[in-house]
Structure 1
Amino acid sequence: MRNSRRLLLSIHDVSPRFSAPVETLAGILAEEVGAGRFAMLVVPDFWNEAPLLADRAFVARLRSWAALGVEMFVHGWCHRDESRHRGAIARVKARHMTAGEGEFLGLSREEAMERMRRGRDVVEQAIGRPVAGFIAPAWLYGPGAIEAAGALGFDLAEDHMKVWSPARSRVLARGPVVTWASRTPMRAASSIAFAALARRTLGPMATVRIALHPGDVSDPRLIESARRTIRRLARGRAIARYRDLIDAGGENPRHL
């Protein structure tokens, strides 16, 4: 890729549970940057109530997006935090950084590996090709999850502040992800304010990430903010794939 400045775009919580808003978000990204030029984070069985392979129509839609070039990531197993957290830091993250959805924050290495394996199998059955990598729900990983992702050889992962390769134990890009929140009016307002700040300050960064969630479509202000942010941060940047970071060697790659 000639342009070393990149914009990475993704849709989270891709599941039959949210088929309509995911379709809407995919259409918005196709309008803004072109069809297939983004990633999808696929949940195999959202909250253990929406098994992916049971919905043939949604599986067919996933395959069509994958055929267009959409990168498909495993996004946990059920997206629901079922752990009892040990340690003050983990409890604070679980309580304040997500609404009970940090599934991989408190898992042991063995349990994380089992869920990752099952998740990879399901998503790969659905899309008919290998997944791009693994991204934990709410971008929250405990030590067990980080070890498990490396042991299973996932090429790509990300959290709030970086993209890395678990298989290579190397950081590929650093910097915050721009995202929106719709759970409460206060969270929506603060995420719109952060996006406005990001439009002004993230321009010099080599790699910028933007993530959308199904809940964003519930508030026209969030969608308008997202469109403005994509347009602003796309200036002078290549609309990239996560895989491009590996192919280019990453930004000053270093061991984790």
Structure 2
Amino acid sequence: MVERTLMLVLHDVAPETWRDYQPLVEAVDALGHIPMSWLVVPDFHHRNPLDKFPGFCRMLDQRIACGDELVLHGYFHCDDGPGPRTLPDWFMRRIYTHEGEFYVLNETAALERLELGKALFQRHDWPLQGFVAPAWLLNEGARQALIKSGLSYTSDPHHLHLLPKFTAIKAPSFVWSARSNWRRGLSWLLSENLAWRCRQMPLVRLGLHPVDMRHDFSRTYWLELLQRLLADGRRPMTKSAWLRQYLEQPRSAA
């Protein structure tokens, strides 16, 4: 694909994180029609069951009507499995993240949560094509569950993956670690480097998180980067819209 595009992706979307995102979403809407992919958690940290927040769900209905996409993002978005038993697991589950929900589930448990998420989307008449694991972490059991899920795609920090074969499409993601001053400074440097390296790539993703919205420096950067990429000629698209266009492209014979 010769067209250069971007995906604006909001991670960890839940009733308690909406207050973080709302000012940024309003600022993006003021720029014009910029479709977004909302990574929705059905029951964020076991305290945000979406069925108990009808006003929030109506807001998501409105976003779909405006051309946005809702993506299933785990189910609880927290690692509630038995404690780590090895040093690598301890690092991944206690240092790297505490939210790698699908890093610890076996195939049966992962498929059960995927089905619960799909059922929630069906109750609300929300179209569903994609799933993104919290912290982008999948173990082999979760991968097998996704293969059987009937969903169309998943993603990691560097690729989109077409299901069920996990066919990889290069799609680097800008992402910040914004919990401290030094992390925000390092994230700025890494993002500017990535922007330079990816300036001719067909597709890039902006992976926003609620914590980014709690600091003027990071929130301002995301809006500025979005405007810069748009001014550079990139077309904003949701994940599902981009993949639909990608799959419609003619393929040369192998």
TM-score w.r.t. the length of structure 2 is 0.89
Correspondence 1:14 to 2:13 = yes
Matched residue of 1:154: which SS?
coil
Corresponding residue for 1:193? 189
Deviations 1:126-148 (A, max 9, x none): 3x232131101111111111111
Q: Separation in 1 of the partners of 2:147 and 2:165? A: 8
Correspondence 1:149 to 2:139 = no
Matched residue of 1:12: which SS?
strand
Q: Separation in 2 of the partners of 1:112 and 1:58? A: 26
Corresponding residue for 1:215? 211
Q: Identify unmatched segments of 5+ residues in structure 2.
A: none
- Cα distance change of structure 1 residues 111 and 124 upon mapping to structure 2, 3 Å threshold: same
Corresponding residue for 2:29? 30
Q: How does 1:118-197 map to 2 (within 5 A)?
A: 118-126=116-124, 128-171=125-168, 173-197=169-193
Q: How many residues align?
A: 248
Q: How does 1:37-116 map to 2 (within 5 A)?
A: 37-83=35-81, 84-85=83-84, 88-98=87-97, 100-116=98-114
- Cα distance change of structure 1 residues 214 and 116 upon mapping to structure 2, 3 Å threshold: same
Amino acid at match of 2:25: A
Matched residue of 2:247: which SS?
coil
Q: Separation in 1 of the partners of 2:192 and 2:18? A: 28
TM-score w.r.t. the length of structure 1 is 0.88
In our comparison, the structure showing a higher alpha carbon Rg is: 2
| Aligned-residue identity in percent | 27
**Shift of residue 249 of structure 1?**
3.0
Amino acid at match of 1:185: N
Corresponding residue for 1:232? 228
* Backbone CA RMSD of aligned residues: 2.3
**Shift of residue 72 of structure 1?**
0.5
Deviations 1:185-206 (A, max 9, x none): 2222221221222222210211
Matched residue of 1:104: which SS?
helix
Contact 1:216 1:222 in 2 (8 A): yes
Matched residue of 2:118: which SS?
helix
- Cα distance change of structure 1 residues 125 and 46 upon mapping to structure 2, 3 Å threshold: same
Matched residue of 1:144: which SS?
helix
Deviations 1:24-64 (A, max 9, x none): 232233234525x1100000001001111101110111111
Q: Separation in 2 of the partners of 1:12 and 1:194? A: 19
- Cα distance change of structure 1 residues 38 and 69 upon mapping to structure 2, 3 Å threshold: same
Matched residue of 2:177: which SS?
coil
Contact 2:13 2:40 in 1 (8 A): yes
- Cα distance change of structure 1 residues 88 and 249 upon mapping to structure 2, 3 Å threshold: farther
Contact 1:196 1:229 in 2 (8 A): no
Q: Separation in 1 of the partners of 2:182 and 2:72? A: 30
Contact 1:182 1:188 in 2 (8 A): yes
Contact 1:85 1:106 in 2 (8 A): no
